[in-house]
Amino acid sequence: MLELVDDVDISVAVYGIGLVKQLLRHQVVPDNDLRSLYDLLFDNPPEIRRATGALVYDHVIAQKFNGLESRLSGDEGDTSRINLLRMLQMLRELSTDQVQVLYVIDDIWEFMDAMKDWNRIMSTLLNEDLSIELTDEDATNLTRLFCASVKKAVGEEIVPGADHRKQNHTKAQLVVEIIQNRRKDITATVMKNYPQLMEVFAEVGDLSLKRVLLGGQKFSFQI
């Protein structure tokens, strides 16, 4: 069914994704191969990506379809922590491509409250929770998630609109785009290590967090 999305009307495709969501909820279809579902998160009309993002959040991150959600509902902070870890695991397994990572974040942001829990995100980046060990890739993706969440919160786009994806670019425009992408990579690297740098100078965790939030304006945040 998912393979037919590109061949039908957008509204029909969204309805089909909703049907798959219900089938998964009632465990009518197996969930051992969702790769074709993940592919819908990228380079599709916003309506399709949003419907897919809702399904992926419910099924993979919140895990509403297998009874685990009820076990997590007692502690909101712990729920944010677990959902963030699941999101990082999905990003790690799904793609190392920066643009695809941003698509996934954009598609799921609306449904995932943990993405808006900036205190939790920053405390994780600061390694304040000793039970969480972030790899370099996880720290980079979490930094991208934080910066993208800030942009989404103020109404900015973090992925190109449908009318921008197929434009013909001049050589000069392509060079500018390449430079911007390199700048984003450098910014991600700097932001990933910024919390650790602040720990050297901060005497308490709260002060360190304030310095990160205030000092973040020095960077482009175009991640």
Sequence ranges of the domains in the chain: 2-218
Q: Angle at the Cα of 27 (from 21 to 30), degrees rounded to 5?
A: 85
Beta-carbon contacts of 107 under 8 Å, excluding residues fewer than 6 positions away, are: 41, 49, 50, 52, 53, 56
pTM beyond 0.85: no
Alpha helix (H) residue ranges in 95-135: 98-108, 118-125
- Interval 45-62 mean pLDDT: 92
Least confident segment among 95-104, 177-186, 210-219: 210-219
Quote the distance between the C-alpha of residue 220 and its chain's center: 18
Tokens of 173: 């425009």
Position 78 pLDDT exceeds 90: no
- Residues, the chain: 223
* DSSP one-letter code for 59: I
166 band by pLDDT with thresholds 50, 70 and 90: very low
